[in-house]
Amino acid sequence: MDIDAAREVARRAVERRDLPLLGQNPNVTYRMGIMGGTFDPIHNGHLVAAEQAFDDLNLDVVVFMPAGSPAFKQNKRVTMGEDRYAMTLLATSDNPHFLASRFEVDREGITYTAETLELLSLAYPPNVELYFITGADAIAEVVTWRDAEKIARLAHLVGATRPGYDLAHARNAIMASGLDFDVTYLEVPALAISSSYLRERVTAGQSLRYLTPDAVTGYIHKHHLYGVRPRRYGSTELHD
């Protein structure tokens, strides 16, 4: 995609509020957080990490971007983008500085982080800085992602870690890559939560309360995601 086309795509996304309006004042530096992920489903770990990144790094906004067709999950079953986006929208809707975006879901083919960051950096003026937020376990892998050097050039990285998590692995991987990544590590408490854990719980008929917003749980039941077959709306009962 050429530069003008990329700008046009992003301009339209801003217009329909799918991307934040940022960068208007050239004398101000704006900081945009990007939380990428499969969000299958989104959970409180994602939300807490994003909120903490917002606070600690003085971000102006955090954009949650469910991946269209995630590069790493090509051989796994992933819930369709429309559902993952809807759950992300529900989970972020009451937070004024969170935004759920269709930017990746609507893109054809496999979504690569480097390409997303490139489109965003073309779309916004240089006084908008990009902060890509990820779990610290993923940080060690970023160096292996496609066009890692582009990621390093276009964005700051924010690695959310559990208290006591040993950062040596991530630090070594980054150092060994020889790439110039700017990483800030954040300690985020209570972060053993994962989407896989939630999916397993749903399938086993167990509660998701306090693991993800109730609106997300409601959506999962209403649309029978993850193998749940509720007798009535909101129930966690399984039947054959």
Site string for ligand ATP, 185-204 (x = CB under 6 A): ---x--x-xxxx--------
Q: By C-beta, is 97 or 162 nearer to ligand ATP? A: 162
Confirm or reject binding of residue 33 to ligand ATP (CB under 6 A). no
Q: Residues 165, 135: contact at Cβ < 8 Å?
A: no
Confirm or reject binding of residue 134 to ligand ATP (CB under 6 A). yes
Q: Residues 22, 124: contact at Cβ < 8 Å?
A: yes
Site string for ligand ATP, 65-84 (x = CB under 6 A): --------------------
Q: By C-beta, is 23 or 59 nearer to ligand ATP? A: 59
Site string for ligand ATP, 155-174 (x = CB under 6 A): -----x--------------
Q: Using CA atoms, how far apart are residues 175 and 205, in angstroms rounded to an integer?
A: 44
Confirm or reject binding of residue 236 to ligand ATP (CB under 6 A). no
Confirm or reject binding of residue 102 to ligand ATP (CB under 6 A). no
Q: Using CA atoms, how far apart are residues 146 and 129, in angstroms rounded to an integer?
A: 21
Q: Is residue 64 classed exposed, middle or buried when 0-12, 13-18 and 19+ CB atoms within 10 A define those classes?
A: buried
Q: By C-beta, is 20 or 37 nearer to ligand ATP? A: 37
Among 39, 64, 98, 219, binds ligand ATP (CB under 6 A): 39
Q: Return the amino acid letter for 92.
A: T
Q: Which helix (H) or strand (E) holds 150?
A: helix 148-154
> Contacts with ligand ATP: how many residues (CB under 6 A)?
18
Q: Residues 220, 228: contact at Cβ < 8 Å?
A: yes
The pair of structure tokens assigned to 129 is 């800085």
Would you tell me which residues interact with ligand ATP (CB under 6 A)? Answer: 37-40, 45-46, 49, 134-135, 137-138, 160, 188, 191, 193-196
